[in-house]
Chains A and B, each alone.
Chain A
Amino acid sequence: MTGLNTIGRSLLRDDADILKSPSPPSRRIVSGAAWLKVVKGLQPGLVLAWFVMAIVVLWALFPQWFTSYSATVGVARQQLRAPNAEHWLGTDALGRDLLARIIYGAGNSLSGAFVAVGVGLVVGTTLGIVAGSARGRIDGAIMRGVDVLLSIPQLLLSLSIVILLGFGILNAAIAVGVTSIASFARLARSEVVRVRASDYVEAAFGSGGTFGRVLLRHILPNSLTSVIAFAALQLGWAILTISTLGFLGYGAPPPTPEWGLLIAEGRNYIARAWWLTTVPGIVVILVVLSANRISQSFGKVTA
């Protein structure tokens, strides 16, 4: 009995009001009731996640708004300064402002992550949908190929691809994207297979729908929601993996500000200047967590 009980309970606990209204609503608002409802519906964690993402995206788009320092040219006699009023996050061994380097690095890291997820999403989902809706031999061939892709350790695979394509931020992103094709393909296929087996798809065929129409009208829209939530989840993972490649020296070449590279460069001075590795590390963690939180909220809305 208790077994049943705990299962039912844990499922429901997630939906219970984990989050109360974050701030008492202002009395001056005219449509008080409606406003109250909006505020109550907000989840502080999710708001924070969107806030972090917004800032990082703004950094990537308009880095000059946030800092007056250059990301690549250092200031003489300002090497390895601890965080202070002039340099909020300190400077590195060449006298470059760390905050500026993080801000300018956002563009490289984010665009890399988007390219990576884009490659995985487009190629993987297409393969998955083709496999799931064609079934039979085509399905077998595609999915065994995907299995081969899955069987190679991801980091090893992306390192090999970078070596084949040549070093650089774009190539690193493509390499990371290729490793996620397999997961996207598997997810998309399982969703398509699930939706295909549903009564409403059969009913659509039964009312005279052709294969193409049913695919476009029912199978695609109903199977893509979890793929999109997964893509948001992959965004965080891609930032992490691109940073890993950058750290290992397979990503952007040195003067370029890139988060993984920042961590790697700071490593040499970790005893004297801890902030050089710690702060970019924290930024990566925050962005990854935010991406995960946002993807989780997608999953919930569609569930």
Chain B
Amino acid sequence: MTTAINIRPVPADVPKLPLLEISNLAVGYRGSDGFQRVVHEVCLLVRPGEVVALVGESGSGKTTTAQAVIGLLAENGRVEAGAVRLNGTDIAGWSQRQLDTIRGSRISLIPQDPTSSLNPVKTIGAQVAEVLQIHRQGSRAEIDARVIELLTRVGLSQPELRAKQYPHELSGGMRQRVLIAIAIALRPALIIADEPTSALDVTVQKRILDLIDELRREYGTAVLLVTHDLGVAADRANHIVVLKGGRIQEQGPTAEVLAFPRSEYTRKLLADAPSLGKARAVPRIRSPLISGSDDAIAVESLVQDFSIGGNREVFRAVDGVSFTVKRGTTHAIVGESGSGKTTTARSIVGFQKPTSGRILVDGIDVTILRGENLRQFRKTIQLVYQNPFASLDPRQTIFQIVEEPLLNFDPLPREDRAKKVHAILERVGLPQSVLARKPRALSGGQRQRVAIARALVLDPQVLVLDEAVSALDVTVQAQILALLDELQQALGLTYLFISHDLAVVRQISDTVSVLHNGRQVDSGPVEDVFLRPGSSYTRELISAIPGQRGIGQH
């Protein structure tokens, strides 16, 4: 190791010099209408071995700040003012070539999306070796040995095998571990982790964050953690920096920020974060069950097989799931990716025929419907997708999107349709001015409102929400959840809420089914499952909810 910085852990009483000091940083982007400043006067310190969390919603400038540190701003971005001092040297004005000498060796980056951050045509081993080769770390044999050592270090099983595999052969969590291996390869003094776990399941997220924590303790590396999740920041960071609109709202030691938030915005973030939501002191006021014990959805031992490769081999995605949902209540299906929760939802909506089992929606057996009957059935149940960026046709205007379901069934006169569209838009809290716009001119939260409006315009009985708030910021997420709650009260809707986020589920659901590898491992009223989990898997899921450490004490 010829790395210039000595990063041996320093005794706690020695006053630590800042490793990274950002002072009065201002960053702007050149757009079609001139130069726009997106980060204003950001100042922060990262001391050796410390975790500093940059928290904010999307568009708050947290990623831009992190990119400015490592010189990876988009081509149209520029540091306009301020200094970025690494061990006292200002690197803000450095050229890309100068930065190359410190990137990887002294500062490294764990990117956000493990699925797109690895080169699909190179083996894992070659990609880890690349950073060592660039910084000339020994002979080929030495590098190969070091790669295996690193892969072992980040907790990958069978490292020799993994080194020969390609990214698509690894799961998301494993890929993120590979990216971490690349980031720590040269034992940098500072790791910038840009939303390192946002694309991962809660349980995987916990393991990855534990790993980063462990490596930090072992190597004394400082971490600049960029996250939108205040819960993650509360668990992992020593210092929290809250950003909004490119300005620092508040910064300070984690416990202090959480216990005595000074800015209005931090208080709002704290209130909105579901994981920190103090387990809903006030129980939800349930709309009285509308018509006795009428079941809106009844699923009986649902089994769904998919053939893979040849016709012989069969993968069982859902294995004997049963539950019932009372009218006007919310049932949640929880599980990691691959647990079969989305498959279950798609069978209920009638997008695929189950292998066996029965699904009754509003008394109609979905499994035997086809053709015109199936089309008529769609009026009863509607699906809201996870990603509002993909579920709206980019070429249609908002009016056309919301109007479309009406055109599919007994056509109303034009004025009635327009009236209905206007009414539903108001219902979901969108201004009439968005009607003529295309989806791309709307924010994520607004788009999800449009998707909900489209689902509701046919007056369905049941709404299936497939991870409908997972892609949204906490504040927007809280708004959408409030909207869903309000709509349920007003219209007596039944929700089937698919989610991997137990914290959200606890907020919104009445009953819950926990799925694991296609099997239902737990079910019942939400509080029962949370307080008395019936399976070890459920317990693991609950303990993985971020934000429990910081809040537990007070």
Contact = CB atoms under 8 A, between A and B. Distances in A.
A is bound by B: yes
Nearest to A13: B75
Contacts of B395: 221-222
A16 B75 CA distance: 7
Contact of B103 (A2, A9, A222): A2
Interface in B62-106: 72, 74-76, 96, 100, 103-104
Nearest to A198: B390
A12 B382 contact: no
A203 B454 contact: yes
Contact of A12 (B75, B109, B349): B75
B119 A3 contact: yes
A67 to B, nearest CB: 43
Interface residues of B, number: 44
Of A1, A16, A213, A218, chain B has the most CB atoms within 10 Å of the CB of: A1
A209 interface: yes
Contacts of A4: 111, 117
Interface string A243-275: 000000000000000000000000000000000
A218 B405 CA distance: 13
Nearest to B96: A5
A206 B117 contact: no
A84 interface: no
Interface string A1-27: 111110011001101110000000000
Interface string B174-190: 00000000100000000
Chain A at the B interface: mostly helix, strand, loop or mixed? Answer: helix
Given A2-B100, A221-B395, A206 B351 contact: yes
Interface in A180-207: 198-200, 202-207
Contacts of B72: 5, 8
Contacts of B408: 207-210, 213
B404 A200 contact: no
Contacts of B375: 208, 210
B103 A208 contact: no
A1 B326 CA distance: 52
A101 B382 CA distance: 65
B103 A206 contact: no
A5 B395 CA distance: 32
A217 interface: yes
Contact of B393 (A3, A15, A218): A218
Interface of A: 1-5, 8-9, 12-13, 15-17, 198-200, 202-210, 213, 217-218, 221-222
Interface of B: 30, 72, 74-76, 96, 100, 103-104, 108-109, 111, 117, 119, 127, 130-131, 134, 182, 349, 351, 375-376, 378-379, 382-383, 385, 387, 390-395, 404-405, 407-409, 451, 454-455, 458
Given A4-B111, A203-B391, A209-B404, 10 more contacts: A1-B108, A1-B182, A2-B104, A5-B72, A12-B76, A15-B76, A203-B383, A207-B458, A208-B409, A222-B395
25 contacts: A2-B104, A3-B119, A3-B127, A3-B130, A5-B72, A5-B96, A9-B75, A12-B75, A15-B76, A16-B75, A199-B387, A202-B351, A203-B385, A205-B351, A206-B349, A206-B383, A208-B379, A208-B408, A208-B409, A209-B408, A210-B375, A217-B393, A217-B404, A221-B395, A222-B395
